[in-house]
Structure 1
Amino acid sequence: MLEAVGNYGLHLKPPSYHELRVPLLEKELEYTNTLLIGHQLHRAKYECSIMSDGWTDRKNRTLINFLVNSTAGTMFVKSIDAYAYMKTVIKIFELLDNFVEEIGEQNIVQVVTDNGSNYVLVGKLLTTKKPHLFWTPCAAHCLYLMLEDIGKIAKVKTVIQKGISLVGFIYNHTLALNIMRKNTDNVELVRHRVTKFATTFLTLQRLHKQKTNLRKIFTSEEWLKSKAANDPKGKKATRIVFLTSFWNDIIYTLKVMGPLV
C-alpha cells in the first residue's frame, strides 16, 4: 500500500469517511462472502474439519474461536466469549454441537480441540451423539502440555528462572542493554512470555548463542565502573552469567525440549 501511495505521488486523495464505511466496506464484504462461498463448496465436496481454539486475552477473558479447515484452507467463522463457562463440559458440548449443525454435520469428518480434561469429556459426548465424527486432540496443545511438564523438572525449572531473571535484568538496565547491543550487532535476546514454553526454549537458545557476548557485558570497563555492578541485582546477574552449571543446564534443557519445538 505504501509503495502504491509513493508511486502515485503527493496528490493522492485518501478515501473519505463515507467511502470507508459504505462503498469500500461493502466491496470488502462482497469479497469476503465470495471466499466463504468457495469454502462452502469445497467442504460440501471434500468434507472438512472444524476446530475450536480457546485463548485468554489481557483482561483474562476466555474466548473460543471456531474455524473450519478444508482443501480450500482454514476459515475463521466466529468467536464466543466463554469466560463464564469455560470449564463447564455440557455448555462447551452444546457450543460445539451447535457449530457442527451450523456447518452441516454431513460435511464434517472430525472435530479438533484442546485436549484438556473438559474437552476430552466433550469429545466423548460429541462422538456418542454423532458416531460418524472423530474427535481429535490438537497436536500443538499436546506438545505444549509436554513442554509444560518438562518445565517442572527441578533442573529445568531452575535454569529457566535464572535465564528469565538474566534477560529481565539486562532489559531493565539501559547500560547493560547498550553494551549487549554493541557486542551482538543489535541482535536481541528473546524475552520470556508467561506460560509460553516454546518461547522459553527460544529464550534459552538465544542466551546460549550469545554466551560470550553476554559475559563481555559484565567484564567491560563501562559495567565495572557503574553503580549497577555493585547493586544486589547486578551482582546476581553477574553470578548467573559466569556459572558453569547455568550454561550446562541450558544445554541439557535445549536437548530435552529441542525435539518438541
Structure 2
Amino acid sequence: MMDSVANYGKGLKLPTYHETRVTFLKKEVENMHFTLDKYKNEWKKIGCTLMSDGWTDNRERFITNFLVNSQKGTTFLKSIDTSDISKNAENLFQLLDSLVQEIGEENVVQVVTDSALAYVSAGEKLMEKRCKIFWNPCVAHCIDLMLHDIGDLPVHANTIKKAKKITFFIYRHIWVLDLMRKYTKGRALARQGVTRFATAYLTLKSIYQQKIGLRSMFASEEWAKSPYAKKSDGINVQLIVLSDPKFWPAIKFCLKCVIPLVKVLRLVDGDAKPAMGYIYEAMDRAKEQIRKNLNDVQRRYRPILRIIETRWELQLHRPLHAAAYFLNPKFHHDPNFVANEEVRVGLYEVIERMCPTTLERCRIDLQLEKFDKAEGLFGKEMAILTRTKK
C-alpha cells in the first residue's frame, strides 16, 4: 500500500471516513463473497472437509477456528469461544452439527478435529446422525502424540533433557551464542518443527549436525578463558558435549527412531498435495524404515513400533485412509501393490456409508473393475501418471 502511495506522488487524495467505512468496505465484502462462492461451488461438486484448530488467547479463553478445506484450498469459516464447551461432548456435537448444517451436509465428506476424548465422543455422535459423513482425528496431532510417547522412553527423555540444557545455556548468553555461531558457521541449534515434539527432535538433529563445531567451541582457548567456563551450568554443558560417552550415540539412536515419523508429519502438514491418499502407505513405510534404521533388532525397534501401532489402531486406522490408499493410482497400479483384507474392508465401509443404495454400489463395483484394469478414463489417468513419472 505504501509503495502505491509513493508511486502516485504529490497530490494524492485520501478516502473520506465515510468511503472507508461504507463504500470501500462494502466492495471488499462483495469481493470476499465472490471468492467464497467459487469455493462453495467446488464443495458441491467434490465435497470438502470441516476442520477445527484450537488455541488460547491472551485472556485465557479457548478459541476454536473452523476452516473448510477442498482441492481449491482452505477457507476460514469462523472463530468460536469454546471455553465452556471444549470438554463437553454433547455441546461439541451440537456445535459441529450446526456447522455441518451451515456448510451443507451433502457437501461435507469428513470432519477433522483433535483426538481429545470429548471430540472423539462428539465425532461418533455426529456420524450416528449424519450417515454419510466421517469423523477423523487430526493426523498431525496423532503423530505428535506418538512423538510425545516415544519421547517419554528413558533414553529419549534423558537425551532431550541434556539437549535442552545445551540450547538453553547457549541461547541465554549472548557472548556464548556469538561464539557458537563462529564455530558452527552461523548455523542455529534450535529448530522449529510443525509441532511441539517434532521441534524437540529437529533440535536434536541440528545439535548432532553441529557436533564438530560444538566440541571445538567447548575445547577452545576462547571458551576456557571466558567467565562462563567457570560457572556451574557452563561446566555441566561442557561435560555433556565433551565428556559424556552416551550423549552423541544416544542422539543418533533417537533420530533413527523418529525421523521417519517426522517425515510423515511434514507430509500431512504440508500444502504441496492432498495427503489423504498417502497416509496409509507413508505410515507403513515409516515403520519399515525404523526397523531398518535399528538393524532389525527387535528389542530396539519393538518399543517404538508398539507406541506407533497403538496410536494407529486406536486413532488413525480409519476407513477413509484405507479407501484413499486403494484408490490412489500411484500405489494401486504399482506392480508391488497388495490390497490386503484391512484395506478392502476400509474401502467397502466407505462405499457402504457414502452410497447407501444397492444400485449406486453396483455401479461403483463396475467402475472398480475398470480402475483395476486401467480402462477408459482410468487408462487415461494412468497414462498421465506415467508421463509425470518420466
TM-score by length of 2: 0.61
**Unaligned ranges ≥5, structure 1:** none
Helix, strand or coil at the partner of 2:53: strand
Q: Is the 8 A contact 1:167 1:191 kept in 2?
A: no
Q: Structure 1 stretch 231-240 or stretch 32-41: which is displaced more?
A: 32-41
Tell me which residue corresponds to 1:213: 213
Specify whether residues 91 and 233 from structure 1 end up closer, same or farther in structure 2 by C-alpha distance, changes over 3 A only.
same
Q: Is the 8 A contact 2:67 2:74 kept in 1?
A: yes
Q: Is the 8 A contact 1:52 1:113 kept in 2?
A: yes
Helix, strand or coil at the partner of 1:112: strand
Tell me which residue corresponds to 1:252: 253
Q: Structure 1 stretch 80-89 or stretch 156-165: which is displaced more?
A: 80-89
Quote how far apart the aligned CAs of 1:44 are: 1.6
Q: Is the 8 A contact 1:176 1:217 kept in 2?
A: no
Specify whether residues 165 and 41 from structure 1 end up closer, same or farther in structure 2 by C-alpha distance, changes over 3 A only.
same
Q: Structure 1 stretch 97-106 or stretch 14-23: which is displaced more?
A: 14-23
Task: Tell me, in whole angstroms, the C-alpha distance in 2 between the residues paired with 1:223 and 1:237.
Answer: 12
Specify whether residues 203 and 57 from structure 1 end up closer, same or farther in structure 2 by C-alpha distance, changes over 3 A only.
farther
Task: Tell me, in whole angstroms, the C-alpha distance in 1 between the residues paired with 2:22 and 2:218.
Answer: 59
Quote how far apart the aligned CAs of 1:75 are: 0.8
Deviation sequence 1:217-261 (CA, Å, 0-9, x none) = 212222111111110011111011122311111111111110111
Helix, strand or coil at the partner of 1:85: coil
Helix, strand or coil at the partner of 1:188: coil
Specify whether residues 232 and 109 from structure 1 end up closer, same or farther in structure 2 by C-alpha distance, changes over 3 A only.
same
Quote how far apart the aligned CAs of 1:80 are: 1.1
Quote how far apart the aligned CAs of 1:55 are: 2.7
Deviation sequence 1:107-158 (CA, Å, 0-9, x none) = 1111111122222111111111112211112111111111110011011011
Quote how far apart the aligned CAs of 1:9 are: 8.1
Q: Is the 8 A contact 2:151 2:157 kept in 1?
A: yes
Tell me which residue corresponds to 1:34: 34
Q: Are residues 1:165 and 2:165 paired?
A: yes
Task: Tell me, in whole angstroms, the C-alpha distance in 1 between the residues paired with 2:59 and 2:168.
Answer: 23
Helix, strand or coil at the partner of 1:37: helix
Task: Tell me, in whole angstroms, the C-alpha distance in 1 between the residues paired with 2:235 and 2:24.
Answer: 59
Quote how far apart the aligned CAs of 1:23 are: 4.7
Tell me which residue corresponds to 1:185: 185
Matches within 5 A, 1:225-240: 225-240=225-240
Deviation sequence 1:84-118 (CA, Å, 0-9, x none) = 22111111111101101111112111111112222
Tell me: higher relative CO, structure 1 or 2? Use CA pairs within 8 A at least 6 residues apart. Answer: 1
Task: Tell me, in whole angstroms, the C-alpha distance in 2 between the residues paired with 1:30 and 1:14.
Answer: 24
Residue type of the alignment partner of 1:202: L
Helix, strand or coil at the partner of 2:78: strand
TM-score by length of 1: 0.89
Task: Tell me, in whole angstroms, the C-alpha distance in 2 between the residues paired with 1:205 and 1:14.
Answer: 55
Helix, strand or coil at the partner of 1:69: strand
Tell me which residue corresponds to 1:89: 89
Deviation sequence 1:164-202 (CA, Å, 0-9, x none) = 110010011122111111122222221679x70011111
Deviation sequence 1:11-32 (CA, Å, 0-9, x none) = 5959568465555544433322
Specify whether residues 235 and 23 from structure 1 end up closer, same or farther in structure 2 by C-alpha distance, changes over 3 A only.
farther
Residue type of the alignment partner of 2:252: I
Residue type of the alignment partner of 1:229: A
Matches within 5 A, 1:1-261: 8=7, 18=17, 21-57=21-57, 60-190=60-190, 196-242=196-242, 243-261=244-262
